[in-house]
Amino acid sequence: MADPVKPGQSTSIERLEALIETLRGENGCPWDKKQTPDTMARYLVEEVYELVDAIISKDATAVCEEVGDVLFQLLFVVNLFRESGNFCLKDVVEKNLEKMIRRHPHVFGDVTAKTPEKVSENWELIKLKEKGGRGRQSVLSSIPQSLPALLRASMVSERAAKTGFDWDDISGVMAKTMEEWEEFSTEVDNPECESGCESAAMEFGDILFSMVNVARFARIHPETALIRSIQKFEKRFNYMEEKAIEAGRDIGSLALREMHNFWNEAKDKVG
């Protein structure tokens, strides 16, 4: 297969950039030539989540592959903007270098920050100063609206807590969660609240948001914790399906008692 690298190009990044240019070129790939920044945004999000899955699974080989896919998507997006005359990879790197140096004054300047918490506090203050000329900015303004709800809830919770708007300890937020559960239960038991009613949905959302705050106090990231829990469920459920097939059955035909037996086996066999 012909190597798309041009004369004088030697680094791996240059090789990847050249490959993208070939794919987008006159004799390139019809699919790649059709892509726009808007279409690539979706694919980038998908690749990032595949990378997250690989990291959580602690599969280094998979992580290596998924990092490569994310890097390809990022360079592809940069190439699209370079084609339209906006910026190139060098601009991206230089801008990021400037930002990282500016936001680490405890390393490259004379600011003192001995703890991760202090570093995070300084980081947010620097970000607010950077946006100082753009009108009033809320501490929540830079949190992307398009983030998955659980991840966004975690970021909103963290930002709000840094202003001092927080519980004293985890017992307080756990008590608040129980209070929200009681309010949800009241709504569900209300004869006037039909299935899926808005008031019950709102109370359920309050439970989830309270649990996000519990996770923050426990130093648990709710998004990755939920991903791990889902993966665990999937492994056990897949085990149940396999045992049903071995018995010549479809899992839907199993009695609930049989399902529980297979589930308990799965807990011992696959974790």
Q: Does residue 33 belong to any structural domain of this protein?
A: yes
Considering the chain, what percentage of its residues have pLDDT values greater than 70?
93
At 193 the pLDDT is: 80
Single out the residue in 34, 53, 87 at which a domain terminates.
87
Chain centre distance of CA 240: 29
Single out the residue in 87, 112, 136 at which a domain terminates.
87
How many domains in the chain? 2
Q: How far apart are CA 76 and CA 62, in angstroms?
A: 21
At 117 the pLDDT is: 86
Q: Does residue 3 belong to any structural domain of this protein?
A: no
Query: Is residue 213 predicted with pLDDT exceeding 70?
Result: yes
Q: Which residues of 94-130 are buried (b: 16+ CB within 10 A; e: fewer)?
A: eeeeeeeeebbbeeeeeeebeeeeebeebebebeeee
Neighbouring CB atoms inside 10 A of 239's CB total 19
Condensed to tens digits (0 to 9), the pLDDT of residues 111-161 reads: 999 999 899 888 888 887 887 655 567 888 888 888 889 999 999 999 999
At 135 the pLDDT is: 55
Q: How far apart are CA 240 and CA 265, in angstroms?
A: 9
AA letter at 27? N
At 134 the pLDDT is: 57
Single out the residue in 36, 56, 87 at which a domain terminates.
87
Residue range of the domain that includes 22: 12-87
Q: Does residue 151 belong to any structural domain of this protein?
A: no
Residues 6+ apart with CB under 8 A from 158: 216
Q: How far apart are CA 65 and CA 54, in angstroms?
A: 9
Query: Is residue 62 predicted with pLDDT exceeding 60?
Result: yes
Nearest-CA neighbor of 158 among 121, 103, 113? 121
Binned at pLDDT 50, 70 and 90, residue 11 comes out as confident
Q: Does residue 6 belong to any structural domain of this protein?
A: no
Condensed to tens digits (0 to 9), the pLDDT of residues 231-259 reads: 999 999 999 999 999 999 999 999 999 99
Neighbouring CB atoms inside 10 A of 204's CB total 16
Query: Is residue 192 predicted with pLDDT exceeding 90?
Result: no
Q: Does residue 251 belong to any structural domain of this protein?
A: yes
Binned at pLDDT 50, 70 and 90, residue 50 comes out as very high
At 210 the pLDDT is: 97
Q: Does residue 53 belong to any structural domain of this protein?
A: yes
Q: How far apart are CA 16 and CA 50, in angstroms?
A: 20
Q: Does residue 119 belong to any structural domain of this protein?
A: no
* Average pLDDT rounded to a whole number, residues 4-16: 74
Q: What is the CATH number of the domain that holds 30?
A: 1.10.287.1080
At 136 the pLDDT is: 62
Binned at pLDDT 50, 70 and 90, residue 8 comes out as low
Query: Is residue 7 predicted with pLDDT exceeding 60?
Result: no
Condensed to tens digits (0 to 9), the pLDDT of residues 85-116 reads: 999 999 999 999 999 999 999 999 999 999 99
Q: Does residue 180 belong to any structural domain of this protein?
A: no
